[in-house]
Every structure is written in C-alpha cells, then in structure tokens.
Amino acid sequence: MNPFHPSSLIPHPSDSFTTASTAKAGDLHHRAVIQKNIGSYDAAVARGKSRYANWQEARSRAAAIKYETINHLDRYLEQFERNVLANGGHVHWAEDAEQARQIILSLCRQHGVRKAVKVKSMATEEIHLNDALTAAGIQPVETDLGEFICQLRGEPPYHIVTPVMHLTKAEIAQTFHEKFGTSLDATAEELAGIARAKLRQEFLTADMGISGANFLVADTGMIAITTNEGNGRLSVSLPRIHVALAGIEKLIPRLDDLALFWPLLSTSGTGQALTCYSTLVGGPRRDGEPDGPEEFHVILLDNGRTKLLADAEQRDTLHCIRCGACLNACPVYKTIGGHSYGTTYQGPIGSVITPHLRGEEFSHLPYASSLCGACTDVCPVGIDLHHHLLHNRRNSAPRHPFQHLAFRLWAWTMQSTMRYRLAGKLLRFAGPFAKPWTQTRDLPATPPQSFREWWSRQ
C-alpha cells in the first residue's frame, strides 16, 4: 500500500478491531461492569425461562414460524404492504442505506420537519440516520433512556438491546453533570427524572416520530414496538408524521404469532415476561380518533439482507429478532465490549451477518471467536450462529494466500505418518506456538517421547 495515499490514513476495520479489542481485553474496570450487568441479566433470564412450561418447544416453534416466513418472504412482504395501504399508511422500499436516508429526508422536506423524536431502533443506526438528519438541519432526539445517554455522549450503542450496558450509574451522573449541570451524586431515579423532563418537551415539539419495528405483522399490516419507558407510544402518537424503518426480515405472518414472539423477545432480551409497553401501530389517525399521526410511513429496508436470503446455508440468520441474548452469552463480547466491533450489530450475530451486509472488509470478525457455541445455545429462534462463523471463515479463506499456503503445507505434512513424526519432533524441540501465545502464558514442558514412541516401545 502506498503510505502517502489518503486511504492509508483510514485504518482498515480489522486493524481498528485488533487495536480496540486488545485494549478493551485488558480493561479490568470494563470487565467488572460487564460481568456485573450481564450477571444480573443472566439471573433475570433464568427466572424468565423458568416461567415457560417448555422453553425448547417455544424456541422450536419460533424457529419454524420464522423459517416459513423467511422462505416465503416475497409473499409476506406483499401481504404486509397491501394491508398497510388498506389501513391508510404508505410503504416505501429501500434497497440500501442511502435510499432509506433519502426517503426519510424527502419526507422531512415535504412536511417541513425541524425536529424528529426517535424510538430506539438499530435499523436507523444501521443507516446512520442521525448524522444524515443533522446534516440536513433536522434535530434527531433519541428518546429511549439508553439511547438518550448515547446521544449525550456522542457514542454509538454498546449493545443492541441495552445501549449503555458498559456504564455505571456514576458515569451516567458524570455525563448528566457535564451536559445539564446536575449533581454528581444524583440517584438513578433523579437521573431518569431529568431525562423525562427534558424529553417531555421534545415529544411535544417534534414534527416527526421515527421508530423501528420489532415485528411487522403481515396479516394486519401493523408494526409491533417493544419498549420499557413508554417513549415509543409518545413518539408514534404525538408528532404529525410517523416513519417506521424496518429490515425486511422483521415479518411475522399473523397477529396471533405475537403471543409467542413478544414474550420470547422480552424473556431473551431482558428476562421480562413482557416489556412494560407492547405497542401495535395500525396506521395513521382515523376520523374520529383523538390522537395519532396524520401520516404513517413504513420503509422496508434491504441493505444486504437479500444477500443472506440468497444464501441457503445462512438464510436462518434472517430469523433474528435482535434480542441480544447471543451477545450476553458470548465470552468474546464480554471481554472486548460492543464498541470494539466497529459495527452496528455486535457480538456473534454481528460477526455472522456483517461480512454479508457490509462486505469483506469485516471478514476478520468471524475469526475473533473461540467457537464455544454459547451463542447458538441461547438463540431463541435457533440460528446456528457459531457454525455460521465457520462458514464465513470458509468463505473468506481463499483471500488469504499465505495462510492458505501454510495450511496446504500442513495438510501435506499430516498426510504422511513419516512427515508428521518428523514435524512433531521439530515442534516439540522448537515450541509449538509463536510469541503471541507465550507473551502472556507459559507452555508445558515438552515430553521426551511422543505417545506413538511409547506405544511402539511397549
């Protein structure tokens, strides 16, 4: 690479990942916070799962419904669109992030939007909507408490469900102190109260409410939104316009399916039987209704998802309901934290789908795993996550010619007992691993003879 070329000034995602993850791995404060927070999550989820007569059966049913939906996605998407239109809403199709941003910006221009309140949405993070809105002179206001704190700090969400899982109450009090001059000793209740008072004004003055969708319900043309703070309802009912951005995989066939999926999502996500607010939006305000937006728009986002759909091996990744359970189960995520990934979706699901959604420059992520399989065990919709990491490695392996050569040589060695024995002797003499391993760990003393030498001498 030419060191004077401007592109060399931007670190490659794999270099940024190595630097960030290495630093975070040694951050003991981070580790203590995450272990404590995920520890309480684990306890809550265990209680949540114990409420099920048969958790495994619930998972299998959810996987079967998602399988059916994703394998007939064309049909369900069209059914959903017909029903949204029949309810008086509008449907837009966005092939990529740029199209999605342009649709939202053009709706903003059309309606003279100056301020938009936002419900927590990873899809809007994926398309970097806040930056686009800000650049167009529109003020985006995050109304989920976690996202509100992220916005104050200028940080992306640390976790797809709990955006500030990495912060202690003291750190949040510090942020509030810097931004609002509040006391450093403020209690959690006081901090929430401050955010509530600030946000109440924003809800009342916003022109547009922007949400994601936890589920798109095909047979009724509704979107389902899950929150714990009631900010979702205010965001989609007070402003004049409601825009919902959702990935095309968020579909479920029937309203009845929510009886399975809503508790499944909240149990896996937070251990709750149901989140505090489960909201269904069925279109704009109708004649005679006291509240609700004048216009309701749904943007269906592809942005690489059809590439996953075309891949029979990894199509089940579109089952994902973004519960975050795989992140919480992942020992690598717990070690390096959400920000090290440099992606919208972190943890195991992120390492599986990001190379497909954003391309080969993220092909290092599937290698950053010990393949322990804890993610697959907890996935409520049965995605074969850790095996997909292996599939991704296989897909990108040919692009590393030196590594390929090394493994060709290795396979050649292992195909002959004589070559293997010779290599074994060399290895035992030279130590089996290069410096990276022994910098932090000691190796065992090498034995004088191999097993096969012992066997043949018996």
Partner 1 sequence: MRVAIFIPCFIDQLYPQVGIAMVKVLRRLGINPEFPAAQTCCGQPAFNTGYWDEARQLAQRYCEIFAGYDAIVCPSGSCTAMVRIFYPELGVTPPDTFEFAEFLVKKLGKTDVGARFPGKVTFHDGCHGLRELRIKSEPRLLLDKVRDLQLVEMDQAETCCGFGGTFSVKFPMISYAMDEVKAESIKRTGAEYVVSLDSSCLMQIDGYLKRHKIPVKPLHLAEILAST
396 binds partner 1 (CB under 8 A): yes
Closest CB 355 distance from partner 1, rounded Å: 12
Closest CB 26 distance from partner 1, rounded Å: 6
Report the residue from 217, 368, 381, 383 that binds partner 1 according to the rule CB under 8 A. Answer: 368
Closest CB 404 distance from partner 1, rounded Å: 6
Q: CB–CB of 213/246 below 8 Å?
A: yes
Q: CB–CB of 322/160 below 8 Å?
A: yes
Closest CB 329 distance from partner 1, rounded Å: 10
5 binds partner 1 (CB under 8 A): no
- Count, residues in the chain: 458
Q: CB–CB of 160/346 below 8 Å?
A: yes
Report the residue from 280, 404, 422, 430 that binds partner 1 according to the rule CB under 8 A. Answer: 404
Report the residue from 411, 422, 430, 457 that binds partner 1 according to the rule CB under 8 A. Answer: 411
Residues of span 204-233 touching partner 1 by CB under 8 A: none
Q: What are phi and psi of 393, to 5 degrees?
A: -60, -45
Q: What are phi and psi of 400, to 5 degrees?
A: -120, 80
DSSP code per residue over 49-91: HHTSS-HHHHHHHHHHHHHHHHHTHHHHHHHHHHHHHHTT-EE
Token pair listed for 68: 């059916």
60 binds partner 1 (CB under 8 A): no
Token pair listed for 419: 């070559």
Q: Which is nearer to partner 1, 170 or 443 (CB)?
A: 443
Binding residues with partner 1: total (CB under 8 A):
63
Token pair listed for 177: 């102190």
Q: Which is nearer to partner 1, 284 or 337 (CB)?
A: 337
Q: What are phi and psi of 333, to 5 degrees?
A: -55, -45
DSSP annotation of 225:
E
Question: Which residue type occupies 94?
Answer: A
Closest CB 354 distance from partner 1, rounded Å: 17
Sign of torsion over alpha carbons 122, 124, 126, 131: negative
401 binds partner 1 (CB under 8 A): no
Q: Name the segment binding partner 1 (CB under 8 A); options: 185-193, 216-224, 233-241, 401-409.
A: 401-409
11 binds partner 1 (CB under 8 A): no
8 binds partner 1 (CB under 8 A): no
Residue 68 has a CB neighbour count (10 Å cut-off) of: 13
Q: CB–CB of 150/124 below 8 Å?
A: no
Token pair listed for 229: 């703070």
Q: Name the segment binding partner 1 (CB under 8 A); options: 3-11, 46-54, 240-248, 432-440.
A: 432-440
450 binds partner 1 (CB under 8 A): yes
Q: Measured over all CA atoms, what is the biggest interatomic distance in the chain, rounded to whole angstroms?
A: 94
Q: What are phi and psi of 102, to 5 degrees?
A: -65, -35
21 binds partner 1 (CB under 8 A): yes
18 binds partner 1 (CB under 8 A): yes
> Across the beta sheet with 251-252, what order do the strands follow?
251-252, 215-217, 222-227, 277-281
439 binds partner 1 (CB under 8 A): yes
Closest CB 27 distance from partner 1, rounded Å: 9
Token pair listed for 400: 């590393």
Closest CB 364 distance from partner 1, rounded Å: 9
Closest CB 309 distance from partner 1, rounded Å: 22
Residues of span 304-363 touching partner 1 by CB under 8 A: 331-332, 335-336
Strands 215-217 and 241-247: unpaired
Q: Which is nearer to partner 1, 113 or 368 (CB)?
A: 368
Q: Name the segment binding partner 1 (CB under 8 A); options: 84-92, 248-256, 349-357, 428-436.
A: 428-436
Residues lying near partner 1 in the complex (CB under 8 A): 18, 21-22, 25-26, 31, 35, 331-332, 335-336, 367-374, 376-377, 387, 390, 393-397, 403-404, 407-408, 410-411, 414-417, 420, 424, 427-428, 432-434, 436-437, 439-444, 446-447, 449-456
